[in-house]
Amino acid sequence: MKTFDVIIVGGGVVGCMTARALSRFNLKTLLIEKEEDIGMGASSANSAIIHAGHDPVPGTLKAEMNRLANPMWDALSDELGIPFKRTGAYVVAMGADELGCLDPLEVRGRVNGIRIERIGREEMLKREPLINPMVSGALFTPTAGMVDPFAACLAPLENAVLNGVELMTDTSFTGFIMEGGKLTSIRTSRGEFGCRWVVNAAGTYSDDIMHLAGDGLDFEIHPRKGEYYILDKTEIQLNNILFPVPTGTSKGILVLGSTHGNALIGPNSMNEADKENSAVTRTGLEEIWNSAAKLVPSITARSIIAVFSGLRATGNAACRDKQVDYGHDFVIEPSAHLPGVIHLAGIESPGLTAAPAIAERVVDLMKDAGEKLTEKKDWNPIRKPRPRFNHLTRAEQVALVAKDDRYGRIVCRCEMITEGEIVAEIHSPVPAHTYDGIKRRTWLGTGRCLGSFDMPRVVSILSRELGIPVTEVTKKGRGSEFLLRSTKEVEEK
């Protein structure tokens, strides 16, 4: 049995940030992820916002983690090459009736220690010309920003891997193994692994792992689906984050820009019983479109290029076995029944923002439990991003092609993604072995044609670089193969 000091269960942003935080120390660490690739859940299906922290209820872990993590993102972006823009965000009121709704939000933001400014109607119209002329005022939180959410998973995990952390994808956690009430190892779909610590960062399945440890027997994750539109960057340009006045269950349906240049609309908030059902719905899409049009009336259906949805890991309120009312807050705590297990559960919004602070809290919890953590003398905090051809100057492009002519072959014409970039991602520290894996890393296939032109080329490149038949190349893992056989191949009867 292979043995580790720490095993992290879950390759979303919280798990990946935790892997990087632990990579600073002389620990043998493994991260396991049940999917074919990391970041395939809520971590890459969200609003891509680094929240300022005006929304969480004061005194909650959500508020504390948001406040601590927000200022960490500048250094993370610099060290890891994560696309990040600190644009600020607006909570926008429409008409006289909504203007008063800004008052309690402003008070809450100030109690949470957040910089917050009141903006009048005329000033808001100057800052965002596309805003509905019915705007009556807004709150501006200057420390909010936009981030590439998948890069926020990939970059810290690549840095962790380069610093010695091991990664196993397509590996499901199935149970704890104990001797005398003490954690000794875990069971997975790929065998047993010894460990002294387990960090439960399993997203929508974090409650199941809590229950296996004997914790939170009344705590359950009840996912809430959020649906989105992506708009063509050639049709509409937005550099702002626009929130409506929030509802009782969500921050409301946003209209915002992104680090990729596309405008994004969403999300709604719908109860979802199936933890695997991320399909969009007609009624949901109609809801978010109609709501978004109240903020930005000029959006048109012709600008839509894609839709998607994600599942928030929303926890229920009560956990009777500990006499605790979590109140839909984050759960960041050691197991009450199985020493060596740390639960990170109910990590919904602002979980993306809070992830680096949650990771540091894991380190603190391990120290509090008596773990002697010694820092590596050779730990390197830097992860150098790979070249993005369409982000380079003409001179830089020429120089890159001179070094490697694969960067001179355009595969995705909409986004100007080259063969060199695709090959680099296939052989990176956290490699892409599927079409969607390359898409998340490069933004390939996200333009108007949605991969119609690049897909055959990418399948061929994956086949060549991985040394597998084209019939084994998949979109997102086993069961999503693109091809069955050659066109003119005749089946034998």
Alpha-carbon span 254 to 247, nearest angstrom: 12
Residue 53: name the closest of 93, 14, 13, 109 by CA: 109
Alpha-carbon span 317 to 329, nearest angstrom: 8
β 135-141/89-94 pair status: antiparallel
* Tokens describing residue 414: 């909409």
Residue 357: name the closest of 330, 378, 383 by CA: 330
Residue 73: name the closest of 163, 165, 162, 143 by CA: 143
Q: What amino acid occupies position 351? A: G
Place of tokens 């610099």: 78
Cβ(430)–Cβ(165) under 8 Å?
no
Cβ(201)–Cβ(12) under 8 Å?
yes
Cβ(63)–Cβ(166) under 8 Å?
no
Catalytic residue among 51, 54, 343, 433: 51
Alpha-carbon span 270 to 406, nearest angstrom: 45
Residue 51 annotated as catalytic: yes
Q: Give burial (CB, 10 Å; 0-12/13-18/19+) of 454.
A: buried
Cβ(206)–Cβ(10) under 8 Å?
yes
Residue 278: name the closest of 465, 3, 11, 40 by CA: 40
Alpha-carbon span 360 to 378, nearest angstrom: 20
Residue numbers annotated as active site: 51
